[in-house]
Structure 1
Amino acid sequence: MSSLTPFTPLASLTTLIPSPPAIPQYNNNHQFNDHVEPFRILLRRSRRARARAGRAGRTSSTGLLSPERNASIGEQLHNGQWVDQRQVKQLDQINSSLFHLSRDPSSLPAEVLQHQQMIKDLANARPDPLLVIRSRPAPRLTREQIHQLLEFVKSSPHARRMPFNQIPAALGLNCPERTITLALRRNGYKSYPAIVRPRIDETTRQARLHFATTHVQWTVEQWKNVLFTGDMRLYIDQPYEALVTRKADEGLQPDCINHVPHSPAHSQTNMLFIAHFSGATGKGPFIQWDHFMDCLHGNLTQENYYRLCYPSFESWLDQQRPTAHFAQQPTREMAFYSGVAYRDEVQGRHMPVLYLPPASPDLNPLTEIFNNIKAAVHADRTNPREYFESEETHIAKIARQTWKSISDDYIRELMESMVERCQAVIDADGMYTRF
């Protein structure tokens, strides 16, 4: 009769698996049960730990374990139950030891046989240490609901700018934001940055239409003889862009346009640039006024403009043709710091004036140059600066480099586009154009 071997800890059982000892012989089942009782205790502990892990990992809303929980405890779904991979490895070692210690595999406890089958199934299954939780497809809207959604989006400027996550509550729909996004996208609607234009009322529309009709027959040489001026503001920080829901070809719809009032002349968050331009003589003065100038001379007032900026403007006028026309903006849109100086100087020189209609940046070719400068500054924001450069200094440098890089061929193309600009205003019946 062979004596029972004392209980061996789990850590040392792994040494028995590669080279198992001689299978002991038991006289009765009591000896066998006494020997395997510690293993049964381990099995019961593993089952309780597995149940606790399942209850702790499940979420209240979906009943599924989160990917973070799976990654932390290494669980895998098997026959509708969550199984800890570390417990499976431990059970595998126990079962192998019990198999070698037993006279007959059929005499093993039922728990051992059950977990042996579970281990075989996991080994044959496709390896998937982390559970991939696939999102459910978003519920679709009915045809009536889609029609209601599209009519709501086109109903007002406020609806055009409403975030997608607020639309279901506004329409009384019980659906997530993703359903609204997909429904709009299938019908050609997306969120685009709103185009910024001045407001056009009926009087302004008629004035724009009258100007375009009168000057659409002008030649390129006549447009080259016009002096254009304008100002531009560049913001130190990236400005906020309002988003509107529209189709790709609806950018010029009145309810998709943002009307921004004229910004103040002095600010610590933006820089002012005053540009002068002629088709005959090319680029003129490019004057900068920023926070540093505010600190040195105070705000940009009429007195400061006459003292610091007017000499450059006067010298530029001296270089122009005697028959040159000065493109003058409406009084309400003229900058308060330079409007009086422009008007007095033009009248003193008896210079012919080309009166531009209100709310018409598309009829001033400087607007396109300003857009190129803004695009260059925006594209350069991600590039590293010199260690001694401030953000304001770097933006001013990019703006001046872009202004200097404007070629004579590009200026000629702008002059040639004036006829097309006037025709676009006529085609739009005095409303917004693509320029």
Structure 2
Amino acid sequence: MINYKGENIVKKYFLNLSKNNIIFENVIWLFFDKLFRMGLGLFVGVWVARYLGPKDFGLLNYAKSFILLFSALASLGLQGLVVREIVKNKANQFEILGTSFYMRVFGGISVMFISFISIKLYEPENDILHYLVLIVSGTMVFKASEIISFWFESQVQSKFQVWVENSVFFISAIIKIIFIYYGLPVIMFAWAFLFESFLIAIILFGVYRSKGLKVRDWSFSIYRMKYLLNEGWPLILAGLSIMLYMQIDKIMIGKILGEKEVGLYSVAVQISEVWYFLPTVIASSIFPSLIKLKENNSKLYKRRIEKLFDIMVVLSLIIAISMTFLSHKLIFLLFGGDYIEAGKVLSIHIWAGVFVFLGVLSSKWFLIENLQKFSFYRTAWGGLLNIGLNYLLIPKFGITGSAIATVISQSFSSVFLNAFSKDVRPLFYMQIRALIFYNYIKLIAK
């Protein structure tokens, strides 16, 4: 049984976040979305990995990682900005949506060209990899439809986005199972990714229209574009840096060790990163209310942020400790003996999640405080550190060395680098207090 004191702590730290029913409902919808996609995605992903084997599965993930390196040029750092601007400037929401949409389309087309040319130069002899990169990079164009998802997020109505993405994800899963049944080659799975993004785009526009809203009301503004780019360039650079140190490990493994090792590493990362939906769901749902709270009650805003950091640490530690002990058994159970080497990688890589959870929430703090440039600084330094560590550790320790590099660079960029700037040091103190359970200990001591 929990004593009354324990009950009060739980209520104070967790239940207070659900006082706003709209926010709580939004969290539940997003949680259901990620949980459903995590379960189904893991089931189909395991099946695809077993069917393709480490080499072809590694080849497919090699292509996806290469495209993700440039994905920030397609997203243009607009997600948080679009939500923020609509919340603060509802009268001009159609101009914001229209301008953002055309920016995303242009960014997606640019990524297609950049990624294809780059892979031709980086791996000139690997024709199948060239085709995979070209096909999968087409998803970046259709992701312009995410602008509609941002509108739903700004209205705290993510359930519509959940319906669309889960329906399409289910259809895509069935398609992949059919491909496996008929023994189709790896390139068909690339086409499945492209079809999934296309279908999501079509249905999102349909749902937006069903709400009585019209895309033709959107407008493009050069002034608005300049404003968004001026506000978002640190986020674009930060996004490039994030993708650099989240994807460069697979690319370097592919170049140094080969495609089979990319496959082994990818299944470990797939299990490790599947939990990242938790901080994303919480941060995205609470973000609009934090913007308003900052303007109306700065003290309550700070306390709310601190509570959220505390929750992030508790959740991430529960996951990290559990997965450390279960990693080898889980990999063998899901993927079979061909992937057993991935178990050790998972037991190390999972600890990066503690700092990812803190980093996701801190990125929202940067936006609210209008300190986006620090997002770039910390991720740029983290990316450079990750490249250097991978260069040193992969030849010596193989794919395990890359997992070590990820944990070190993630902790540095998400937390410890914040200590070096006066403007960001309050964030560092909040993160450290969360990591040492300062607020929980303070409550218990009362």
Check whether TM > 0.5.
Answer: no
TM-score, length of structure 1 as denominator length: 0.26
Higher percent of residues as strand: 1
Greater relative contact order structure (CA < 8 Å, 6+ sep): 2
TM-score, length of structure 2 as denominator length: 0.25
Higher percent of residues as helix: 2
